[in-house]
Structure 1
Amino acid sequence: MRIGLYPGTFDPITLGHIDIIRRASALVDRLVIGVAINRDKGPLFDLEERVAMIEAECVGLSEQTGIEIVVHPFENLLIDCANDVNATLIIRGLRAVSDFEYEFQMVGMNRALDDKVETVFLMAEARHQAIASKLVKEIARLGGDVNLFVTAPVRRALVEKFQSMT
């Protein structure tokens, strides 16, 4: 069984993330969405909220692709998380050349830690290349329209979150 791990903070999950999940599903028999706890980033949504959003978004994807998609929070090294879920493939989405520089370093470090785990890069679809969770949060915080970047349930969660903060 080919198990892939697609890690990220997903704060919040965007259409770009969903595109990568859909396309990664064609490469594996089981896809684990690794939700990084990453307290240093100071996420807008807590871990439980992010996990719930991802699970809700992935139900339909799993049905469409016929691939089991599970959500797995983690706070350890990415390579250790890959081993914890028996993944032999780490899937990373790339939007721009600047993403590649960081990811290239990560691949080298991960290969040094465990050379049995491969990393595969998937380029975001052109219409999703500009989407970044950080920018989506900023647009939503300032009352802008994020419909082009997230699903309706995620948009509602963003609106509710920012309303509760005022």
Structure 2
Amino acid sequence: MTKRGKTGGIFMSIAFYPGSFDPLTNGHLDVLLQALQVAEKVVVAIGVHPGKVPMFTFEERADLIRESLLDALPEKRRDIEVVSFDNLVVDAARAYGARLLIRGLRDGTDLDYEMQMAGMNRQMAPDIQTVFLPAGVASRPITATLVRQIAAMGGDVGAFVPAPVLLAMKNKLKR
């Protein structure tokens, strides 16, 4: 999707996909795979909040995203970059040259919230467009919070997360 601008320069479409990804779910992966169809490069941005204690460290989450993409779509492994951010999403997106902000939608509740966020982001950064991508039917009920809760209570989350994440969760919860 490289385009020529009015001055003849070439633009590369870079999308910014922010989230906590703690853990990466099949829904996250579904949205990432869709994002790779609308942008040449996707910057997967893991929000790091000092007040929150995640299940996985930033490094573990970054590795799990890369491994899961490698399993799902190995030819696209060079088309993503995994980074951390702790500032406004639009400021982080700009820092990576992104013009698209990817947001996944599961249902109408997500849409209501995401529309508010898109409106605020548009006010702060009119040069960055929010793109909503619907989660596939199988991944609509999945949330990372529910996955963590089910796993912590000994439930099987294999249907909700990519294989590398399942293995990492099992190892993490053994400790």
Q: What percentage of residue pairs aligned between the two structures are identical?
A: 40
With structure 2 as the length reference, what TM-score do the two structures score? 0.88
Establish whether residue 123 from structure 1 lines up as the match of residue 134 from structure 2. Answer: yes
Does structure 1 conserve the Cα–Cα contact (< 8 Å) formed by 2:69 and 2:77?
no
Q: Which residue of 2 aligns with 1:105?
A: 116
Runs of 4+ aligned structure 1 residues displaced above 6 Å come to none
Query: Cα RMSD (Å) of the superposition?
Result: 1.5
Structure 2 residue ranges without an equivalent (≥5): 1-11
With structure 1 as the length reference, what TM-score do the two structures score? 0.92
The one-letter amino acid paired with 2:59 is E
Q: SS at 1:39's partner residue? A: coil
Q: Which residue of 1 aligns with 2:39?
A: 28
Distance 1:74 1:151 in 2: 24
Does structure 2 conserve the Cα–Cα contact (< 8 Å) formed by 1:25 and 1:67?
no
Distance 1:63 1:142 in 2: 33
Aligned residue pair count: 164
Distance 2:72 2:126 in 1: 30
Structure 1 residue ranges without an equivalent (≥5): none
Distance 1:62 1:161 in 2: 26
Does structure 1 conserve the Cα–Cα contact (< 8 Å) formed by 2:66 and 2:77?
no
Report the CA distance between 1:44 and its aligned residue: 1.2
Which of 145, 167, 172 aligns to 1:134? It is 145
Q: Which residue of 1 aligns with 2:50?
A: 39
Please give the per-residue CA displacement for 1:42-93, whole angstroms capped at 9, x wherever unaligned.
Answer: 3111111111111212234553448611111111110011101100000100
